[in-house]
Structure 1
Amino acid sequence: MSRTVDIVVIGGGIAGMSAAAELSRDAQVLVLEAEDHLGYHSTGRSAAIFIRNYGNATLRRLNALAYPDLAGELLGETVLSPRGEMLIARLEDMETFDSYLADTDGMERLSPGEAQSMVPILRREKIAAAAIERDAQDIDVDRLLQGCARLLRARGGQIATGKRLTGLSRDGSGWRVECDGESILAGRVVNAAGAWADRIAAMAGVAPIGLQPMRRSAVRMALPRQIEGHADWPLFGSIMESWYAKPDGDGLMISPADEDPVDPHDAWPDDMVIAEGLFRFEEMVDVPIVKPSHSWAGLRSFVADRTPVVGAAADADGFYWLAGQGGYGVQTAPALARILADICLTDGRGTEPDLRASLSPARLA
Structure 2
Amino acid sequence: MTHSDILIIGGGIAGMSAAYFLAKAGKSVTVLEREDQPGYHSTGRSAALYSETYGPKIIRKMSTASRDFFITPPDGFTENPILTPRGIIMTAAPGEEAELDAILTEGRANGANFVALTPDELKEIVPIINTDLIAAAAHETDAMDIDVHALHWGFIRRFKAMGGTLVTKADVSAISKSGDGWTVTLSKGEEYRGDIVVNAAGAWADDIAIKAGVKPLGITPKRRTAVMIDLPSDVKAHGWPLVASLDETLYFKEDAGRLLVSPADTTPTEPHDVQPEELDIAITIDRLMTATSVEVRRPGESWAGLRSFFKDGDPVSAFDPQESSFYWLAGQGGYGIQTAPAMGEYAASMICGNGIPAHMTRLGITEDALSATRASLVTGK
- After TM superposition, the score normalised by the length of structure 1 is 0.96
**TM-fit CA distance, 1:242:** 0.6
Give the aligned partner of residue 34 of structure 1: 34
CA contact under 8 A between 2:9 and 2:198: conserved in structure 1? yes
Task: Flag the 1:238–1:80 CA change in 2: closer, same or farther, 3 A.
Answer: same
Give the aligned partner of residue 261 of structure 1: 268
Amino acid at match of 1:35: E
**TM-fit CA distance, 1:125:** 2.9
Where 2:329 maps in the other structure, the secondary structure is strand
Distance 1:312 1:29 in 2: 17
Of 200, 209, 225 in structure 2, the residue corresponding to residue 201 of structure 1 is 209
CA contact under 8 A between 2:116 and 2:137: conserved in structure 1? yes
**TM-fit CA distance, 1:49:** 0.9
Deviations 1:55-84 (A, max 9, x none): 121111100001111112343663000000
Give the aligned partner of residue 345 of structure 1: 352
Distance 1:44 1:128 in 2: 35
Unpaired segments ≥5 residues, structure 2: none
Give the aligned partner of residue 290 of structure 1: 297
**TM-fit CA distance, 1:24:** 0.6
Deviations 1:179-206 (A, max 9, x none): 1211111011110000100110011011
Deviations 1:295-348 (A, max 9, x none): 110111111111110011111131101100001000001100011001100252
Amino acid at match of 1:322: L
1:89 equivalent to 2:97? Answer: no
**TM-fit CA distance, 1:349:** 5.1
CA contact under 8 A between 2:321 and 2:373: conserved in structure 1? yes
Report how many aligned residue pairs link the two structures: 363
CA contact under 8 A between 1:96 and 1:240: conserved in structure 2? no
CA contact under 8 A between 2:58 and 2:365: conserved in structure 1? no
CA contact under 8 A between 1:11 and 1:31: conserved in structure 2? yes
Where 1:326 maps in the other structure, the secondary structure is coil
Give the aligned partner of residue 13 of structure 1: 12
**TM-fit CA distance, 1:149:** 0.6
CA contact under 8 A between 1:242 and 1:277: conserved in structure 2? no
Give the aligned partner of residue 210 of structure 1: 218
CA contact under 8 A between 1:222 and 1:290: conserved in structure 2? no
Distance 1:38 1:3 in 2: 20
Distance 2:212 2:115 in 1: 48
Distance 2:48 2:219 in 1: 22
CA contact under 8 A between 2:356 and 2:367: conserved in structure 1? no
Amino acid at match of 2:45: R
Where 1:78 maps in the other structure, the secondary structure is coil
Where 1:268 maps in the other structure, the secondary structure is coil
Distance 2:194 2:133 in 1: 58
Q: Going by fraction, where is helix more abundant, 1 or 2?
A: 1
Distance 1:360 1:147 in 2: 28
CA contact under 8 A between 1:84 and 1:133: conserved in structure 2? yes
CA contact under 8 A between 2:61 and 2:365: conserved in structure 1? no
Instruction: State the identity %.
Output: 42
Of 147, 152, 156 in structure 2, the residue corresponding to residue 145 of structure 1 is 152
Distance 2:36 2:142 in 1: 35
Distance 2:97 2:296 in 1: 27
Give the aligned partner of residue 169 of structure 1: 176
Give the aligned partner of residue 118 of structure 1: 125
Distance 2:354 2:176 in 1: 22
Distance 2:287 2:96 in 1: 14
Where 2:107 maps in the other structure, the secondary structure is coil
Of 127, 131, 143 in structure 1, the residue corresponding to residue 134 of structure 2 is 127
Distance 1:95 1:60 in 2: 20
Of 318, 330, 334 in structure 2, the residue corresponding to residue 327 of structure 1 is 334
**TM-fit CA distance, 1:102:** 3.9
Unpaired segments ≥5 residues, structure 1: none
Give the aligned partner of residue 50 of structure 2: 50
